[in-house]
Chains A and B, each alone.
Chain A
Amino acid sequence: MIELTKEDAGNILSAALAKAGDMADIYVTEAENSVIGVEEGQIKKFYSGVSSGAGIRVLQDDLSVYFHTSDLSSKSLYRLATEAGTSVKDGAKTGVAAFDEGAFRGPVSASETDLQMVGELMRELNEYSRSLGGFVKQVAFSCSMGRKNTLIANSWGRFTLRQNSRRRFFVRIVGEQAGQLQTAIATLGDTASELQWDEELLRAKVDEAADRVKLLLGAKAAPSGPMTVILSSTAGGTMVHEACGHGLEGDHIAKGLSVYCDKLGQQVASPKITVIDDATLSGHYGSYETDDEGEPGQKNVLIEKGILKKYMYDIRSARRAGATSTGNARRESYRCPPLVRMSNTYIAPGEDQPEAILADTKNGLFVKKMGGGQVNTANGDFVFEVSEGYIIENGKLTYPVKNATLIGNGPKTLNSVFAVGSDLGFAIGTCGKGGQSVPVGDAQPTLGLSDVIVGGTQS
């Protein structure tokens, strides 16, 4: 348990601001993590550990001074805060406000991981995966479970205690047929307080990956060129996260490195498009009660009916922009200063029937599952893999295709949306930025996009 008292926290923050500085904060965390993984029919990975430490930050104008340590004694933290305080330039002094009792958040319950039980479950799942069929060449799966206690206090009076937990299951299946190899993955993750797993759910994920790899082994090469693309709600929201979300992060905006700079209030997408980042969705993988600066998690409408309404901010980028934090500060661990990050980012459902969007499409590509991708936030250009795709002919799915990619530009693609389904499908992911990885969720309804460049290998 974190033993730092409010009095300790107040003294540490005062030491950090002794010379100068606009704001100081302290982030103390104790994290337990366990990982169990199966490869080649055997449990090859099984470890757990505890990582604890604290980060102390002083902000002054555009400068951020960040010192961190794994020694949680209040004496050590006080000394570190004093050293951090000497790194700021001479300037106006600010004090530490009284901690706001109203901002105190009690811990939510989270069970300890029963390693023995999860180990037994992985063993049973390993037996199950042996019965998948002759096309399966390799099965690898892993589950990770983590629990974290966090204390965040700042000189503006914020004092937050938080306990949360997260779990993730990942399966990758490699299939082989006539000398040809194909790979499929499936994932599952949430912030449930219960860290144990339901075997049926995990079996369903193994089946999902196996079915997809079987389908890909029988698929034809994807065609290439501009075409109508229907992104199913099951595709996951990689596109909105990568091609739109990153460009709306306040630090990219402040540096002028986003295609969305200076466009607040302007039409940046089809009027059918509303983009939301929502940390408050119960149980979702990217959800949090407070962000890593202690600000409450929020539901932020970023684009409403195509009009850019808001950027995402942490305290630092908000100060630079003359705005307030939107509760989007996140860090991988106490070793990292907070960065502006997404939580659960999605395109809101529209009014079109998903079946009708498909039925009204004469020719095109239907994307049932997206793979990974990357984007250049400075100009909005993106490339995404299609994990599972089908050719559409006269409103019907005719045959599966493999090795397709989608190539485009975020704002142009969001302007080319001609239909938004009434459904919504979520996916999970790990988002990397500035050397830090954080868990995120993303989602979208079924979308109809015109003239997307499809990269394929069909001659």
Chain B
Amino acid sequence: MNINTLLERILAYSIKVGADECEIFLSRGEAKRLVIGEGQLRDREIALTNGFSLRLLKNSRIGFSYGNEISEPALKKAVDDALISCDFLAPEPLYGFTPPGASYPALPQYTPDELSFRRELDFVRNMEKKALSAKAIAKVDKAALSLVRAEAVIKNSLGLDLAYDTGYCSCSLLAVAQNSGETEVGGEFMAKKHFDVLKPETVAE
């Protein structure tokens, strides 16, 4: 069963078992993180994630559930659990899901930065070098670079059917200063939409 058919079936199921409206949010993402400490590559992480969350309206109550197994039984259980919560939750009479046809500002498609491992490593090493050039900085505990991208789909029982891409890059640094037997630790962080506009020297300073 393709994903679109599966989501249609779950939306239909939710109405059949008692929801007034239902909406499903699906996301899939990939993240990379590189950390060096004292000049050495210390951590390399890659994350591949997917998951869903589901909210439904019943008698002006909003039930919510989530999971990361995209299958019919898992999504149906999420509908059942969210419906139970509607029996207890306070009403939110002004709440409603978005119908199709609404006007949205045009979003540029997110084009993730494709970087070589060498370029990522050089980036964090240069950031560390800059920090170490400051007076009293004894060492850099961590210099890190993260690259994140994600795709999302939103579909609801009113007919809304949207998809978008997003992502960001970030860098951070944790420096250790020592002077006359005293030790202090300080950190800084920067996040931008794209790698080229990150300012590692600012973070290091």
Contacts and interface: CB of A to CB of B under 8 A. Distances in A.
B85 interface: yes
Contacts of A44: 89-90
B26 to A, nearest CB: 12
Contact of A68 (B48, B184, B185): B48
B5 interface: no
B66 to A, nearest CB: 4
Contacts of B41: 63
B70 to A, nearest CB: 9
Interface stretch (A48-56, A294-302, A350-358): A48-56
A441 B42 CA distance: 30
Contact of B84 (A84, A115, A255): A115
A62 B40 contact: yes
Contacts of A64: 42-44
B202 interface: no
A83 interface: yes
A66 B31 CA distance: 12
A70 B65 contact: no
A19 to B, nearest CB: 14
A64 B63 CA distance: 40
B136 to A, nearest CB: 14
A51 B51 CA distance: 8
Contacts of A71: 48, 50
Contacts of A67: 45-48
B42 A50 contact: no
B74 A70 contact: no
B183 A53 contact: no
A122 B87 CA distance: 12
Interface in B57-107: 63-69, 74, 77-78, 81-82, 84-85, 87-90
* Chain B binding surface SS class: strand
Interface residues of B, number: 38
Q: Report the contact-size class of chain A (Cβ under 8 Å from the partner).
A: 35 or more
Contacts of A128: none
Nearest to B41: A63
A360 to B, nearest CB: 37
A49 B65 contact: yes
Contacts of B85: 46-48, 115, 119
A379 interface: yes
Contact of B48 (A42, A51, A52, A69): A69
B176 interface: yes
Contact of A335 (B47, B50, B64): B47
A48 B65 contact: yes
Most buried by B among A48, A66, A67, A123: A48
A361 interface: no
B196 interface: no
Contacts of B90: 42-44
A119 B84 CA distance: 9
A256 B48 CA distance: 34
B182 interface: yes
B49 interface: yes
B141 interface: yes
B49 A69 contact: yes
A378 B185 contact: yes
Contacts of A122: 88
Contacts of B183: 257, 378-379
B49 A257 contact: no
A164 B68 CA distance: 20
6 contacts: A47-B85, A52-B69, A65-B43, A83-B46, A115-B85, A335-B49
Interface of B: 37, 40-51, 53, 63-69, 74, 77-78, 81-82, 84-85, 87-90, 141, 176, 182-185
> Which 10 residue pairs spanning A and B have beta carbons closest together?
A42-B90, A49-B66, A46-B85, A119-B88, A47-B64, A70-B68, A378-B183, A69-B48, A50-B67, A67-B46
Interface of A: 36, 42-44, 46-53, 62-71, 80, 83-84, 87, 115-116, 119, 122-123, 255-257, 335, 337, 376, 378-379
